[in-house]
Structure 1
Amino acid sequence: MLSVAHMPSDFHPLVLIHADLVGVTELAKILDSLADGKSTEALVGSNEVKTAALVIQVVECEGLFAEVDDALHWYLTKEMAANHASDLIGFVSRNELSGSVILENGILDETPIKVTVGEFDDAFFTDSALQ
């Protein structure tokens, strides 16, 4: 299961994705599929817990992040998607009970995506906890 939250801030905005190791592996597979050109768009999120929707799209330009129609959009090139998939697989291979990896593209003013395992419980992703 993947839970997604957008945490806007003037100083350190962040998109937080919380999952178990299986969920992180699924996210890596999604990014790998985007990198291979098997698809050009993927939706990440969970219906079990009210979370934000994260739409990942492959585009030709540098990575961008935007809020569009109440969904978070993360725009990546194929190379960026492949690099992030590799980072996630490396993280999963360590088989740690808790930890995180930050996915960044090195673009000015980008919003990083932090993928965590075992650092939060699902109650953190309720509307009241994020406000």
Structure 2
Amino acid sequence: MTPLPEHLRQANRARTQEAEKRARTALTELVKAGKPISFTAVAHRAGVSTDFLYRSPQLRTRIEKHRTKIGAAPPDAADPPNDASTSAVVRALSARLKRQQEAHREEAARLRKALQVAQGENLDLRRRLARYETD
């Protein structure tokens, strides 16, 4: 394989440096805004791939450092409040879901068994038909 011409190497280097600059800027903006830091968030904001961030040792180190600083993400505002009525509803729905799952499992097992019986009967009838046709 022939080496790249110098002008293409320079263009590649410039493109990489520009992408690194965008990633550093995106990381700084996310930190200042107090947003959760992740490789995906930085990549999306900078317009680069997550693979690019993982392959860049300096960017990777900075993102991991900021990611551990923030810790766990704050609770989502869409989470329901923790009151007794909500818990009771969740428990009731969970129990109902478990009963339905068990009923579906039993029905699937019953249908599987019926299918096996039907396939056995089908095979038996084919064998009997083959015996009559050869005579």
Alignment TM-score, normalising by the size of structure 1? 0.24
Structure with more of its chain in helix, by fraction: 2
Alignment TM-score, normalising by the size of structure 2? 0.24
Structure with more of its chain in strand, by fraction: 1
Higher relative contact order (CA 8 A, sep 6+): 1
Larger Rg: 2
